[in-house]
Amino acid sequence: MNYIRLDTLDLAIAALLLLAVVGLSLALQLRIERSLAIAALRCGLQLFLVGLVLTKLFELASPWWTALAALAMILFAGREVMARQERGFARLWAYGIGTSALLMASTLVTLFALTTQVQPEPWYDPRYALPLLGMILGNTMTGIALGLQRLTEGARQQRAAIEALLCLGATSRAAMLPITRQALTTALMPIINSLAATGLVSLPGMMTGQILAGVEPMQAVKYQLLIMFLIAGGTTLGAVAAVFTGLYRLTDTRARLRLDRLAGE
């Protein structure tokens, strides 16, 4: 397959756009040039290291090394979920809930794709397994973080209403149902917006990359649809698991609202 190769000079020319942003920041005194430079350096270093690791993994094609790399990705994603919580659950619980939901959702959906639609040989081929997991994981991570954040915010904001319902004999699930719905709606809104906008408003990165690499446009479209459907399923599974686990943590066996289990309470 023919594709246009990029060299270091090509990347250096593209980096001139970042220098233009730095110049604009200095001219307008936005004071973002330092953050931008650090972020750009981190991006380049991280992608370079990932490229080296993936090259080695592709050569090994070992199920154990592939599983270890997948686990590392999930553990780092769980840390991101925890870091995005403002006054959410205590750090250990925030990490545990987010990571467990990510592990369940992303693993199930990735295995589903590898064994039913993509079907590489062998099925654990890291060339297919890790990119699929990465795309599913990134979006599922965002959904889980948004869902947990909305759940804990709603519990604080609607504390009086929830406790009144509990005092009147409502079950914990019934009393928390409004904020549970709000949390799940918030978690799923990004993927709903992506599904609605893909194609007309934006050409996703995977589809664009395949077209640039020489894949026929209709084949690239099919792959992109597959990825979008997998992401939607993974985000939904992860968000439901995380929100209902968070709901369990916010109440106890005596049907009490336990805001003391949140950070800062």
- Would you state the pLDDT for residue 181? 95
User: For residue 209, how far is the Cα from the chain centroid?
Assistant: 20
What gap in Å lies between CA 78 and CA 62, rounded to an integer? 24
The per-residue DSSP string of 56-107 comes to HHHHH--HHHHHHHHHHHHHHHHHHHHHT-SS-B-HHHHHHHHHHHHHHHHH
Q: pLDDT by residue (tens digit) across 178-228?
A: 999 999 999 999 999 988 888 777 777 778 788 887 788 888 889 889 999
The pLDDT of residue 1 is above 70: no
- Would you state the pLDDT for residue 204? 75
- Would you state the pLDDT for residue 88? 84
User: For residue 51, how far is the Cα from the chain centroid?
Assistant: 20
**Within 10 Å of residue 13's Cβ, how many Cβ atoms?**
9
> Residue ranges per domain, the chain?
1-60, 63-261
- Would you state the pLDDT for residue 2? 65
- Give the distance between the most distant pair of CA atoms in the chain: 70
What gap in Å lies between CA 126 and CA 42, rounded to an integer? 24
Q: pLDDT by residue (tens digit) across 52-81?
A: 999 999 998 899 999 999 999 999 999 999
pLDDT band at 237 (very low <50, low <70, confident <90, very high): very high
- Would you state the pLDDT for residue 150? 94
The per-residue DSSP string of 151-207 comes to HHHHHHHTHHHHHHHHHTT--HHHHTHHHHHHHHHHHHHHHHHHHHHBTTTB--HHH
The pLDDT of residue 9 is above 60: yes
Structure tokens at 210: 């395949």
pLDDT band at 132 (very low <50, low <70, confident <90, very high): very high
Q: What is the mean pLDDT of the chain?
A: 89
Q: What percent of the chain has pLDDT over 70?
A: 98
Taking residues 158-173, report their average pLDDT.
88
What gap in Å lies between CA 10 and CA 5, rounded to an integer? 9
Q: What percent of the chain has pLDDT over 90?
A: 56
pLDDT band at 265 (very low <50, low <70, confident <90, very high): low
What gap in Å lies between CA 159 and CA 200, rounded to an integer? 42
Structure tokens at 25: 């920041």
The pLDDT of residue 100 is above 90: yes
CA angle 45, 46, 50 (to 5 degrees): 120
Considering the entire predicted model, what is its pTM? 0.85
